[in-house]
Amino acid sequence: MQPWTFVHVADIQPGSPKSFRYRPAWQENWDTARQQIIGVDPDLLLIGGDLSADGWIHRFELAEIKADLDTLPFPYYAVPGNMDTGNKHTARNGTRCRERDDIDLNVTSAQLRRYVGIFGPMEWTHVHKGVRFSGFYAAVAGSGLPEEAGMWRWLAGLKDAEPRTAEHVIIMHYALFVDAIDEPNYDITDRDQYLPWYFGIDEPHRSRILRAFKAAGVTICISGHIHCRKHDVVDGIRFDKAPAPSFAQFGTHWPDGDPSLGFLRYDVSDARIARTFVPLARESAAQGYGPGGHPRPALRDYSLAWQKTDLSALLDEDRA
């Protein structure tokens, strides 16, 4: 077999100067990563969510990054992230409730439909040169939304997808687990556990997803969201927590974690799929404006925007 290559990138989230916040460094870092990925000349690009900074409230950010990605000289396959749609559900607010209302951030069907209307189905599977590729948005687990039922149906059916292949690569935005596959559910109300809660999938959904992976012959699972690279193997499945090109997080959490900016390159040959971390060639130091995280509506000041626009039109579009 002629060796070939695919690339995985996540958390590109370039943002927009029309927004209440903007980090031009993230746009510039995406421009850099984009050129580097084109230089790799992969057969295909996997995008592990957070394509946008605030697509969860701005439809135009999703449309703009879609237009950008559509000009790439190879096909790409994306899954949504929480910044494109909404967060994993919680019934309780967490320790950061002064700046964010966690319950209000629970992903909604309207947000998911908006993403699907632009990017197409959240769940997909196909085979390229003898390798199966699949993607889905696990954060709907436990939401009770109609999209959750659809996700479980799709996951249950994945084991029957034909043809069965020796390698099956699946991408998701949230990590299936943060520290260990058998970790407890982290407590959103505990300051030290907020981020571990925010980054991973809770039980009983985690075990149900792992069972579906095993039944479907998944060999590699790549996740985003954490912006810190780490690699584990569970029951023979390689779990790759991907780096981000935009900005680093969680860099001191794991002794073997690496928050360096960049993306992952995978080279496929007869014998194996070899993974290589590709560091970002240039890191932008450009300064922006506005708050980080998930600010409450009262903390979103559009008068800061560098690119002035008709705010009512902007938000009318969001309600559509």
DSSP string for 118-186: HH--S-EEEEETTEEEEE--GGGTTS--HHHHHHHHHHHHGGG-SS--SEEEEEESSBS-SS-TTPPPP
x-or-dash string of contact with Fe ion, 117-156, rule CB under 5 A? ----------------------------------------
Q: In terms of CB distance, is 81 or 131 closer to Fe ion?
A: 81
Residue 195 or 299 with smaller CB distance to Fe ion: 195
Nearer to Fe ion by C-beta: 94 or 219?
94
Nearer of residues 158 and 172 to Fe ion, judged by Cβ: 172
Closest CA to 11 of 100, 75, 79: 79
* Enclosing H/E stretch for 112: helix 109-119
**Separation between Cα atoms, residue 136 and residue 123, nearest integer Å:** 4
* Residue in this structure with the two tokens 């889905």, named with its chain if needed: 136
106 binding Fe ion? (CB under 5 A):
no
Q: What is the nearest approach in angstroms of Fe ion to the Cβ of residue 174? A: 7
Q: Is 82 a residue that touches Fe ion (CB under 5 A)?
A: yes
Distance CA 221, CA 240 (A): 6
Q: Torsions phi, psi of 236, nearest 5?
A: 85, -5
Q: Among the candidate windows 45-53, 55-63, 99-107, 188-196, which touches Fe ion by CB under 5 A? A: 45-53
Nearer to Fe ion, 50 or 148 (CB): 50
Shortest distance, CB of residue 88 to Fe ion, whole angstroms? 10
Query: Which residues contact residue 210 at a Cβ distance below 8 angstroms, ignoring those fewer than 6 apart?
Result: 176, 181, 234, 235
Q: Single out the residue of 50, 64, 202, 232 in contact with Fe ion (rule: CB under 5 A).
A: 50
Q: Which residue in 114, 168, 225, 229 binds Fe ion (CB under 5 A)? A: 225
Q: Which residues bind Fe ion (CB under 5 A)?
A: 50, 81-82, 225
